[in-house]
Amino acid sequence: MPRQPAPDDDPVPSADAVVDLGPLSTLTGHALRRAQIAVAQDFQRTMAHHQIRPAQFSALEVIKLNPGLRQTQVSFALGMKTTNFVPLLDELERRGLAARRPIQGDRRARGLFLTPRGHDLLARLEQLAAEHEARFTARIGADGKAQLLGLLYRLGDPAFDPPRD
Amino acid sequence: MPRQPAPDDDPVPSADAVVDLGPLSTLTGHALRRAQIAVAQDFQRTMAHHQIRPAQFSALEVIKLNPGLRQTQVSFALGMKTTNFVPLLDELERRGLAARRPIQGDRRARGLFLTPRGHDLLARLEQLAAEHEARFTARIGADGKAQLLGLLYRLGDPAFDPPRD
């Protein structure tokens, strides 16, 4: 919302001053975070009716594609800490979308599975995710998206890190 | 850390199974989040001795470059919610790096400034940030970085969003 500009004789920046971000604007981490926030906000708006956050969608997708994984495997695959993943999974279970069930061959272990309700919801969420994705692909083009995914993959892969002294 | 593989007769994925991420691996938001985590972790390792997180570094930088801004202006410029920014600023103030001070021309408003100690620390942090940045630039090259920043900017800018029906 617009703010009242400061008086002209105010020696400090006025309330609507353009803020100088200096070297931040060329820091990769800063640019990544800004873009990631914009994309995550669109995702959450897209999924608002179903109250699904990006991490919940990712968990449902991994459980669907890899039924029976232990929760530590799913959280590791998603790059999430177990302490963050457990409450996320609890909520999916409480909403009847996923379940922890005993798995054959190991009496102590429990694996993760989608419920029929989870499968139904995820089918709808996948359509919405595709619409969300198409909006961002339209901004940078299919070639731009392919370039972006390649660059992001190389950024995140320590194998591309040159040896340090 | 390595985990004990499941017995061979286990019908569910073994503990060291490759996890299928399916459509997640081509979702822009997922790829952004993975890369952003990798970059932020390196940043935090780089700054560990000084106990500075990326958002704290960004705040110090914006305050240095724009002395006297109100905290709402700084948080807006950084894309942070005020509720998250206030405790961050409290900590910078407690550590003697930044200060809220009355500003001329407006008796009620207080502006943000770095302390001399904040200036000294930030000079060192800027060197470390440049070393951190150089590691990631080395992974994708200077041309790759320029491409990446351009793509990220277009992703995050709604002006590039085509009109919806």
Q: Per-residue confidence of chain A (165 residues) as pLDDT tens digits?
A: 344 444 443 345 555 667 888 888 889 999 999 999 999 999 999 999 999 999 999 999 999 999 999 999 999 988 888 999 999 999 999 999 999 998 877 777 899 999 999 999 999 999 999 999 999 999 999 999 999 999 999 998 765 554 444
The pairing of strands A98-103 and B106-114 is unpaired
Asked which of A16-30, A41-55, B66-80, B91-105 is least confident by mean pLDDT, the reply is A16-30
Reduced to 3 states (helix: H, G, I; strand: E, B; else coil), residue A100 is strand
Bridge partners (DSSP) of residue B113 are B99
Bridge partners (DSSP) of residue A102 are A110
* B70's tokens: 């109100």
Q: Give the residue from chain A lying closest to B42, CA to CA.
A: A29
Measured between alpha carbons, how far is B19 from A104 in angstroms, rounded to an integer?
19
Measured between alpha carbons, how far is A57 from B15 in angstroms, rounded to an integer?
22
B47-56: average pLDDT? 95
Q: Give the residue from chain A lying closest to B74, CA to CA.
A: A19
Q: How confident is the model over B120-150, as pLDDT tens digits?
A: 999 999 999 999 999 999 999 999 999 999 9
A23 touches chain B (CB under 8 A): yes
Min Cα–Cα distance to chain B from A111, Å = 8
Bridge partners (DSSP) of residue A98 are A114
Instruction: Give me the percent of chain B exceeding a pLDDT of 90.
Output: 67
Instruction: Give me the percent of chain B exceeding a pLDDT of 70.
Output: 85
Q: ipTM beyond 0.90?
A: no
Chain B positions touching A131 (Cβ under 8 A) are none
Amino acid at the residue B50: H
A133 vs B156, more confident? A133
Query: What is residue A163's predicted lDDT score, i.e. its pLDDT?
Result: 45
Instruction: Detail the DSSP E strand segments found in B28-114.
Output: 98-103, 106-114
Which of A98, A87, A135 shows the shortest CA–CA distance to B29?
A: A135
Q: Determine the Cα angle at A61 with ends A55 and A62, to 5°.
A: 90
Contact residues, B window 133-162, toward A, CB-based 8 Å cutoff: 133, 135-140, 144-145, 147-149, 151-158, 160-162
**Virtual CA dihedral for B59, B61, B63, B66, nearest 10 degrees?**
-130
Query: What is residue A4's predicted lDDT score, i.e. its pLDDT?
Result: 42
Record: contact B74-A19, CB cut-off 8 A: yes
The tokens 């139904």 sit on which residue?
A120
**Dihedral sign, CA of A102, A106, A111, A115?**
negative
Q: Are the C-beta atoms of residues B24 and B30 closer than 8 Å to each other? A: yes
Chain B positions touching A85 (Cβ under 8 A) are none
Contact residues, B window 42-81, toward A, CB-based 8 Å cutoff: 43, 54, 58, 61-62, 64-70, 72-74, 76-77, 79
Query: What is residue A22's predicted lDDT score, i.e. its pLDDT?
Result: 84
Measured between alpha carbons, how far is A68 from A101 in angstroms, rounded to an integer?
8
Record: contact A66-B17, CB cut-off 8 A: yes
pTM of the model as a whole: 0.80
A111 touches chain B (CB under 8 A): yes
Distant-in-sequence, close-in-space partners of B131: CB < 8 Å, separation ≥ 6 = B46
Query: What is residue B88's predicted lDDT score, i.e. its pLDDT?
Result: 97
Chain B positions touching A35 (Cβ under 8 A) are 32, 152-153, 155-156
Q: Is B141 left (phi over 0), alpha (psi -120 to 50) or beta?
A: left
**Total count of residues recorded for chain B:** 165
Query: What is residue B162's predicted lDDT score, i.e. its pLDDT?
Result: 47
Nearest to B36 among A32, A74, A133 (CB): A32
Query: What is residue A60's predicted lDDT score, i.e. its pLDDT?
Result: 97
Record: contact B138-A162, CB cut-off 8 A: yes
